[in-house]
Structure 1
Amino acid sequence: MNRKTLVLSAVVGLLAPVLVACGSTDSGSDGGDAIVVGTTDQFVAGADAPAPLDPAYAYDTGAWNVLRQTLQTLMHAPRGGGEPVPDAAESCIFTDNASESYRCKLRSGLTFADGTPVTAQDVKFSVQRVLDIDADNGTAALLSNIDTIETKGEDEIIFHLATPDATFPYKLSTPVAGIVSKEKYEGKKLREGFQVDGSGPYTMKTETEGDHISQVVFSKNPNYKGDLKLHNDKIVLRTFTDAASMGNALEAGDIDLMTRAMSPEQIRNLLENPKEGIELTEMPGLEIRYLAFNTTAPAVKDKAVRQAIASLVDRGQITQEVYGATAEPLYSLIPSSISAHTNSFFNKYGEPSRANAASLLSNAGINTPVKLTLHYTTDHYGEGTAKEFEALRDQLNASKLFDVKIEGAEWSKFRPAQKRGDYAVYGLGWFPDFPDPDNYTAPFLDKGNFLNSPYVSDKALELIPQSRREADRTAASPAFKQIQDIVANDVPVLPLWQGKQYVAARENVSGVEWALNSSSDLQLWELFRGTA
């Protein structure tokens, strides 16, 4: 994914909120004006992405941030992170020591927003639907380890897994496992357009301009029964084409809060020159950015070409000149704040070296300069992306070993082209679905992976299920170390940096420090006017 929690207690030192008391004790839970949240995420429906908000298809942070407000899952990530806790479920538990059978019991009286009862059969339908549709976006891969689904009565469901998987509760907490009604969703066909119906904390209505959403209005679902406590009655999520216009709207008071993706310049300015009435909150983040390779494309099919790029890229220069304090270099797919991280790329390639890159290419008989085009999305990860790719281009071209051009495209065109294999080299970001090293490795290396990558490592395919057997996740570290070393050697992807995240809000809005978790999941129910 693109895109989606770290245990907050473990990273509380990273939080840097500047909170100003407003002299009120109003929790905001009794309603009042809607809180308006700005985002640069774009929601577009078209021929290449006809069902951007169907849980069987949606697999990017923006779409998931809509679905998390409207669809309910059996489990959910708790407020400050950590292991999932029941939401639609009253309880969930592995019924064996091998982590192969997972049983959930639904809450009593659970209904969809329209009052229709939610049953175990609805849960089975929803999960089986994802597997049956098996959309090319990679969503089904999260649930592909399910062998059979069994229901007992109206409120009990048992997932029998093909192989042990201690991470399965985390997967049930993602929108891909969102519960939908078979009365409103077809079992083997995507639901086109922008309508979403579920049993989550909010109902939603969209306003559109042409083929894209201009804003989403989330209204408190009076029939919601779950673990979440709503602190507001209505939230409006408004989309902006760029960070500058979103920032102007915040200063003008047209919106109350802006989330992803603020530009590095905006963050720097707010840190150095705070604006009256606006507060910037820093939060821990688990976002990573990376280059990925179509390993069957002629230009990068030879591993030596990919290794040479890994030898040349100067991550420190990119983070310093483009992102400043908001990012730091990353030398593995698994970020440094997640257990099992190793600096595999630095261990293999060291500091950027033209000599090493030239030797790799020469020994492989590769003629230089190698001509490449690096592709990136212009509207999905923020305005720093273009500058990042300009820096990458200049670094590679300065070596005289490569002749590189860069080309940007809107996400609605970029993602389908990337999945089709149109690009030899392209840049993507990843927001973890859940905070486990498995979610930084399997989505890139497992069968049916998010990238639709032709790269295959038989050893990695052996290690991934092996790592999932360990209920104690620290015991899986040796397997993840091997996987990270395989990636550094074969370079199907090239990690670049990991980032922090920030939210800017008007000072009369509270709950901001909880509005985003470390996976960049929006938790809009936490927001309210006034101070607690």
Structure 2
Amino acid sequence: MNNLLRTSAFASSFALLAGLGAAQAAGDVTVGLQLEPPHLDPTGAAAGAIDQVLYSNVFEGLTRFGPDGSVDPGLAESWEISEDGTEYTFHLHEGVTFHDGTDLTAEDVVFTLDRARAEESANAQKALFEGIESVEAVDSLTVKVTLSEPDGSFLFNMAWGDAVIVAPESIEDIKSNPIGTGAFKFSDWTQGDSIDLVKNPDYWGTPAALDTATFKFISDPSAAFAAVMAEDVDAFYSYPAPENLANFEADPRFRVLVGSTEGETILAMNNGAEPFNDPKVREAVAHAIDRSALIDGAMFGYGEPIGTHFAPHNPDYVDLTEQSNYDPERSKQLLEEAGYGDGFTTTLKLPPPSYARRGGEIIAAQLREVGIETEITNVEWAQWLENVFNGKDFGLTIVSHTEPMDIGIYARPDYYFQYDNPDFQQVIETLTATADPEGRSKLWQQAQQIIADDYVNGYLFQLPLMSVVKTGLEGIWADAPTQAVDLTAVHWAE
């Protein structure tokens, strides 16, 4: 009987392993994510969750970001730049088709860029395209973009998810049925649960190694832990519960990847509304925050403190954390000078990520110590985008800005935190027209200093990227130079 049981157990184990191997050999992968996209148009919303699923996988731009943050050729195989820096001539790859079988042509690029910069454009990063004076199809595979003035960041801007190329034939249904040119095709979206992609057999470039990819949305950190441990997901990208990482590191079934992101996590303040239209109040808030306690309490020690809106891994970063150091007595003094000696009450609206929800509770307690009471409201992303980002209906909010090199948002007075400083706007305008690396470096640093001096927001920490990946799954990016879970090179080890 014992021999029979051992034989049966061995057979069952072998069958289980064989089944697992077959699934891996077939190229299937399931990736866990905490946030679900509100819709599937990367050119029509500020939600980073859209890019996480679709950037590079389904949609592609003229240029693209590499895993090291480099700007590489995308749908454009090459380009020339005029001597005065105002004309970019892009040459598209031959033989590129959209997932519906239509050919990619220069006219699609014209349509995409004209749509993004149109007056009625819903593009969340419309400012990326404001310097475009005209877009012209020279021939079917050549596009000339003329800028009103030189822009040293133009190729970088064209790599953003907001600049992916779309076609007029499929634009009407893009929010629910995205059709791009990427290595994967959209297959299905079970809202509230998952999105399925399948390999594009007609992909113009290096084909994907995977046959299918499923993005599984699990917002609750406890449920995320259970899903990884049960191997219901093959990877959990940007894992939301750092307190669990030691468990995974000790388990040979998994690898833990800890890297950096472009995500400046901030306590955003509504500069356009009282009392945050007063710089002294904003400075008081900044000095009330104990970053070390926040990082330890909300992130279990993961995360690098920041004092301005710039990534510490960038060579042009200036460490300004001491300028807004934790000093509650200074905070109380500033509130007294601003006429709020008895404190005040404001709203604190928190989107779903755990860094926001956990961090919000800690910051609320810290603000209470200096007399600032907060009315916490937990909101879903769709509500946050509608009410906070678009409606500007908030006092405080916590969010991580994961777009790369996005300090230029502070030059937009109508941006959701409503900061309006002509001196800063002039720095960004000069930066845009500057091509010299040394000159650009000085301007980046000047821009960082100005917003730190104005205490525009409470600068908290650079969001780390912590992912849990099954042993044997290769190609998941350790760092996040852009908001993307790029699966185009992901594969199971043989």
The normalised TM-score by structure 2 is 0.89
SS in 2 for 1:487: helix
Q: Give the counterpart of 1:506 among 459, 466, 470.
A: 470
Q: What corresponds to 1:310 in structure 2?
A: 286
- Distance in 2 (CA, whole Å) between partners of 1:116 and 1:256 is 34
- In the TM superposition, 1:279-318 aligns within 5 A as 279-318=255-294
- Letter paired with 1:198: G
Q: Answer whether contact 1:104 1:157 (CA < 8 A) is retained.
A: yes
CA deviations on 1:75-134 (whole Å, 9 max, x unpaired) are: 11234332x2212112123222x4322110111122212321111011110111122264
Other structure's SS at 2:261 match: coil
Matched AA of 1:406: I
Q: Distance in 1 between matches of 2:46 and 2:184?
A: 20
| SS state at 2:171 partner | coil
Work out whether residues 299 and 355 of structure 2, in 8 Å CA contact, stay in contact via their aligned partners in 1.
yes
Rounded Cα–Cα distance in structure 2 between residues aligned with 1:315 and 1:464: 28
How far apart, in 2, do the equivalents of 1:356 and 1:482 lie? 25
Cα 1:489–1:422, aligned 2, differ >3 Å: closer, same or farther? same
Q: 1:198 Cα deviation (Å)?
A: 1.2
* SS of aligned partner of 1:396: helix
Cα distance per residue 1:239-270 (max 9 Å; x no partner) = 12323223222222222111124212222443
- Once superposed, which parts of structure 1, at least 4 consecutive aligned residues long, lie more than 4 Å away? 27-31, 133-137
Tell me how far apart the structure 2 counterparts of residues 135 and 95 of structure 1 sit (CA, whole Å). 28
Say if 2:348 is the partner of 1:374: yes
Q: Rate the CA distance shift 1:290–1:137 in 2: closer, same or farther, 3 A.
A: farther
Structure 2: distance between partners of 1:92 and 1:28:
43
CA distance in structure 2 between the aligned counterparts of 1:404 and 1:81, rounded to whole angstroms: 38
Match of 1:81 among 58, 69, 80: 69
Q: Could you tell me whether the CA contact under 8 Å between 2:267 and 2:457 is conserved in 1?
A: yes
SS in 2 for 1:496: strand
Partner of 1:266: 244
Matched residue count = 474
The residue type equivalent to 1:493 in the other structure is N
Q: Does 1:115 align with 2:101?
A: yes
Call closer, same or farther: CA 1:193–1:113 in 2, change over 3 Å: closer
Aligned residue in 2 for 1:408:
378
Match of residue 517, structure 1, among 451, 461, 480: 480
Alignment partner, residue 89 of structure 2: 103
Q: Deviations over 1:122-170 (max 9, x none)?
A: 1110111122264456232222221111220111111111222111111
> What's 2:111 paired with?
125
Correspondence for 1:395 among 366, 390, 397: 366
Whether 1:425 and 2:396 are equivalent positions in the alignment is: yes
2:44 aligned to 57, 60, 63, which one? 57
Q: Which amino acid aligns with 1:206?
A: D
Matching of residue 177 in structure 1 with residue 141 in structure 2 = no
Contact 1:322 1:388 in 2 (8 A): yes
Correspondence for 2:28 among 12, 26, 34: 34
Greater C-alpha Rg: 2
Q: Which amino acid aligns with 1:489?
A: D
Instruction: State the partner residue of 2:4.
Output: none
Give yes or no for contact 1:442–1:464 (8 Å, CA) kept in 2.
yes
Question: Does 1:365 find its partner at 2:347?
Answer: no
Instruction: State how far apart, in whole Å, the 1-side matches of 2:86 and 2:321 are.
Output: 34
Q: Which runs of 5+ in 1 are unaligned?
A: 1-26, 45-51
Deviation at 1:444, TM superposition (A): 3.2
1:525 Cα shift?
A: 1.6
CA contact (8 A) 2:35 2:217 kept: yes
3-state SS of 2:202 partner: coil
- Check 1:33–1:342 CA distance in 2 against 1; reply closer, same or farther (3 A cut): closer
Pick one of 178, 183, 190 that aligns with 1:201: 183
Match of 1:444 among 397, 407, 410: 410
Residue 234 of structure 1: aligned partner? 212
* Deviation (angstroms), 1:496: 0.5
Shift of 1:394: 1.1
Relative distance call for 1:322 and 1:30 in structure 2 (3 A) is closer
Percent of aligned positions that are identical: 21
Distance 1:235 1:386, change over 3 A: same
Deviation at 1:29, TM superposition (A): 13
- Deviation per CA, 1:326-377: give whole Å up to 9, x if none: 2121111112111322233523x4x322332233223333342122222211
- CA distance change for structure 1 residues 257 and 473 in 2, over 3 Å: closer, same or farther? same
Per-residue deviation, 1:392: 0.8
| 2:470 is the counterpart of 1:488 | no
User: Bigger relative contact order, structure 1 or 2, given CA contacts below 8 A and separation 6+?
Assistant: 1
* Structure 2 match to 1:530: 493
Displacement of 1:203 in angstroms is 0.5
User: CA, structure 1 residues 116+33, in 2 after alignment: closer, same or farther (shift >3 Å)?
Assistant: same
Report the aligned-residue RMSD. Answer: 2.5
Map of 2:312 onto structure 1? 336
Aligned partner of 1:231: which letter?
A: A
Q: Flag structure 2 segments of 5+ consecutive residues without an equivalent.
A: 1-20
Q: Is the contact made by 1:28 and 1:530 (CA closer than 8 Å) also made in structure 2?
A: no
Query: Partner of 1:127: helix, strand, or coil?
Result: helix
- Alpha-carbon offset, residue 28 of structure 1: 10
Confirm or deny that 1:257 pairs with 2:199.
no
Aligned match of 1:5: none
The CA distance in 1 between the partners of 2:194 and 2:331, in whole Å, is: 48
Secondary structure of 1:423's match?
coil
